[in-house]
Structure 1
Amino acid sequence: MEQLLIHCANAIETNDATLAQQILWVLNNIAPPDGDSNQRLTCGFLRALISRAARTGCCKMITAMANSTANLTINTHKFSVIELASFIDLTPWHRFGFSAANAAILEAIEGFSVVHIVDLSSTHCMQMPTLIDAIANRPEGPPFIKLTVAGATADVPPMLDLSYDELGSKLVNFARSRNVGLEFRVIASSSSDGFASLIEQLRVQKIVFPEGSEGEALVINCHMMLHYTPEEVNPNPYNTFESSSVTSSSSFRNMFLMALRVLDPTLVVLIDEDADFTSNNLICRLRSAFNFMWIPYDTVDTFLQRGNKQRQWYEADISWKIENVIAQEGLERVERLEPKTQWVQRMRNARFRGIPFSEDAISEVKSMLDEHAAGWGLKKEEEDLVLTWKGHNVVFATAWVPC
């Protein structure tokens, strides 16, 4: 099926409409949307290729097929807070990063009376309740928490059905119920420019309230969000910085990390999926995506029955990601995962030093994995932790401090 998809992609790119249509016909017959995991995976790529052909207009008959095929529609779900929390609990995909990050954060903030957490997360602060719970039980008493989130992130799955202001009110009330003081702030800042507005607000705040004056820790929690930041070279949006470490020749990813380093944070946690979707070559991206995206389709069969609503939501989100990787180009192609090795190098270049996760953190992650299917595993790679499915890398967790 992978080879058929590659031949089809080549035919679309070379405008060979006849061959493309023949292969699409074959794929349509052998990869039904309700088949086994490999067939559903292939169907997702089939949709994406038809969408790509329709967008470019290179094959008129395929464009007509796209316009007339209801199966091509991806109906992503807008979650309520309760639905999203339940949805995330289904697999360790996000919970792994939550557990590892929370353990690292708890250690880093020991002794601080005020903790400023900047949460850059694709899961809309779903990590925060468990962190607040853990902080509430701190032996010396909980610190006051300032929680800052970027409110204008890309409209990508999973999506939430309420505003961040409403979400913030819920979190403040939850923290109050746990006897934890919480201040919630939304800054309109987007990954498309490397969160430039957010960085500027944090920089100004650091000048007004320098770290250490009131025992304040600054924690940057990056959970599957930074790969939405473009890696192209762009003009420097951080024009208020006078640091020579942030230059106009940097990519937005490097610029963001260097700008973080200027803030001298107490801890940076970086969690993301361990794959490479950055190639400008469609065939390379297709191969890489096919050899990674089989994992969520394979895992879903272990915990959700066919026809289940949550399964439909889960696979719609996966299909959205596949279509973005395959059908989109330029800045609209936001699913640009990088492997752990590349992020590690970026962090080191920005003058951060990796720190290991403690044995307590590893025990927390292992206990969480025990609640899920037997195929999930954990391995250590130097200072880092990696979530695996049947031995294949899925998500990595890293923790960093300034050098």
Structure 2
Amino acid sequence: MGVPLQLNTVSDPATPAFLTKESLDVREGEVLFVNSIMHLHKYVKESRGSLKAVLQAIKKLGPTLVTVVEQDANHNGPFFLGRFLESLHYYSAIFDSLEASLPRSSPQRMKIERGHFGEEIRNIVAFEGSERIERHERADQWRRQLGRAGFQVVGMKSMSQARMMLSVYGCDGYSLACEKGCLLLGWKGKPIMLASAWQVAKASSS
């Protein structure tokens, strides 16, 4: 199509001081898209100031679209027992979906279970304060946080395409739903992932 594209990968952690047009080499007249995949929850601190600062920095970049993919779970409670029980139910669904999708001998599955989800569970239940960075939240909470930061949700219009992609896995346990502009992925009735798209609200872009 003759449209030049440039991809800038932001390393972790992405501080508000780094999220500037100068640091990211955003040039005048360019159209900017921000894609955050399972990243923003790491800024959900107990005071919420860190996430607010990151979202404000993203808004100042003037992006045309911001896409957010996060785990749809409540792992940010202040009490251990609540987080433990929520993690138990959530990751039971996750591991059950892996059992149905990948054979037990799959190196890919073992890497995901031990290296990724295993470390997440450990951080959620065994750490506190600033050391606890796996602070996943539910879709409603993400809508509130992004709305307060000056973003408005853009309705998802690709349900049929998403369902077609999901059918490729040949597994009946997954479900898709669109709720208040968010695309929700579930496993046997349990929400596990959410995807949403956002624009800077007109009232806050000035």
Aligned residue for 1:272, secondary structure, equals strand
Q: Which residue of 2 aligns with 1:220?
A: 34
> What amino acid is aligned across from residue 150 of structure 1 in structure 2?
V
TM-score, scaled relative to structure 1: 0.47
Counterpart for residue 364 of structure 1: 161
Q: Is the 8 A contact 2:16 2:57 kept in 1?
A: no
Question: Deviation at 1:336?
Answer: 0.7
Offset, 1:203: 6.9
Structure 1 match to 2:142:
343
1:280 to partner: Cα distance: 2.2
- 1:200 CA displacement: 3.0
1:230 Cα deviation from its structure 2 partner: 4.2
- Provide the C-alpha distance between the structure 2 equivalents of 1:202 and 1:327, rounded to a whole number of angstroms: 39
Q: CA deviation at 1:204?
A: 7.7
Percentage of pairs with the same residue? 27
Number of the residue aligned with 2:204: none
Deviations 1:293-333 (CA, angstroms, capped at 9, x unpaired): 11121112213333433332222122211111111222221
Q: Tell me how far 1:201 sits from its aligned partner.
A: 4.8
Residue 14 (structure 2) pairs with residue 143 (structure 1)? no
Q: Is the 1:221–1:270 Cα contact (8 Å) retained in structure 2?
A: yes
Q: Which amino acid aligns with 1:396?
A: L
Q: How many residue pairs are counted as aligned between the two chains?
A: 199
CA distance in 2, matches of 1:253, 1:397: 18
Q: 1:284 to 1:145 in 2, by over 3 A?
A: same
Aligned equivalents of 1:204 and 1:382: distance in 2? 32
Any idea what SS the aligned residue of 2:133 has? coil
Q: Map Cα deviations across residues 321-355 of structure 1 (whole Å, 9 max, x no partner).
A: 11111112222211110111111111111111111
CA distance in 1: counterparts of 2:106 and 2:20, whole angstroms: 44
Post-superposition offset of 1:388: 1.1
**Aligned residue in 2 for 1:281:** 79
Equivalences for residues 33-72 of structure 1 within 5 A: none
* 1:274-295 residue CA offsets vs partner (Å, 9 max, x unmatched): 1011122111110111121111
Alpha-carbon distance, 1:198 to partner: 2.7
- Once the two structures are TM-superposed, the CA of residue 205 in structure 1 deviates from its matched residue by 4.4
Structure 2: gaps spanning 5 or more residues: 202-206
Given candidates 43, 58, 81, the residue that maps to 1:229 is 43
Match among 267, 274, 279 for residue 65 of structure 2: 267
Secondary structure at the counterpart of residue 320 of structure 1: helix
Residue 132 of structure 2 corresponds to residue 333 of structure 1: yes
Q: Which amino acid aligns with 2:139?
A: K
The 5 A counterparts of 1:2-401 are 141-151=1-11, 153=12, 190-191=13-14, 195-202=15-22, 205-206=25-26, 209-210=27-28, 212=29, 216-233=30-47, 251-316=49-114, 317-358=116-157, 361-372=158-169, 373-401=171-199
Deviation track 1:218-250 (CA, whole Å, cap 9, x = no partner) reads: 1010111111124244xxxxxxxxxxxxxxxx6
Native 8 Å contact 2:156 2:178 kept in 1: no
Q: Which has the higher contact order (CA 8 A, sep 6+)?
A: 2
- Output the CA distance in 1 between the equivalents of 2:88 and 2:125: 10
Say which SS state the counterpart of residue 378 (structure 1) adopts. strand
Q: Give the letter for the 1:328 counterpart.
A: F
**Bigger fraction of residues in helix:** 1
Q: Determine the C-alpha separation between the residues in 2 that align with 1:202 and 1:223.
A: 23
Check whether the contact 1:219–1:267 (CA below 8 A) recurs between aligned residues.
Answer: yes
Structure 1's unaligned 5+ residue stretches are 1-140, 154-189, 234-249
Larger deviation: 302-311 or 343-352? 302-311
Q: 1:393 to 1:202 in 2, by over 3 A?
A: farther
Kept after mapping to 2: 8 A contact 1:203/1:263: no
RMSD of aligned alpha carbons: 1.9
The residue type paired with residue 350 of structure 1 is A
Q: Distance in 1 between matches of 2:101 and 2:138?
A: 27
SS of aligned partner of 1:369: helix
Distance 1:203 1:265, change over 3 A: farther
Partner SS state of residue 5, structure 2:
strand
